[in-house]
Amino acid sequence: MTLIAFNSPCARRPFTLAAPRRIWAGRILTGAGLALLPWMGYLAGTLPPAEAAAWMALDTVEAACLLIAGTRLLNGRSGHRAAAAAAAVLLVTDAYVDVATAGPGSELLGAIAMAVGAELPLAALCGVLAARAVR
């Protein structure tokens, strides 16, 4: 009986992302990667040199992963999953460290707002894209 269930023609097919969703996801990831570029310039100009170097290194790798995954999705090419997975991990790490190192008051509120409003939703999208195939 088990063999019949596993070989059933009605077995679930893996979820794949349709072309319009693939294009929108690619636009979101590419836009987020491009948005990090001026942000890195802002960090370089406002933070002390040692902190700026650390944050710029993290944001550079985040931007690269987002741009790789986004452009591969937009072009309909495979290979976006590893970059999306790496971006998801980096975005969650970035959100955690931002909140953990923020000072009290408005700095903490800003870090929480960025984490909840941008970094964690983008990490969730990247996680979904990393786990699912694209048509």
How many Å apart are CA 104 and CA 106, to the nearest integer? 7
How many Å apart are CA 11 and CA 30, to the nearest integer? 35
pLDDT higher than 80, residue 14: no
Q: Does the pTM of the predicted model rise above 0.75?
A: yes
What phi and psi values does residue 16 have, to the nearest 5 degrees?
A: -125, 150
pLDDT higher than 70, residue 7: no
In this prediction, residue 77 carries a pLDDT of: 82
Q: What is the pLDDT of residues 118-131, one digit of tens each?
A: 999 999 999 999 99
In this prediction, residue 3 carries a pLDDT of: 44
> Is residue 66 exposed (0-12), middle (13-18) or buried (19+ Cβ within 10 Å)?
buried
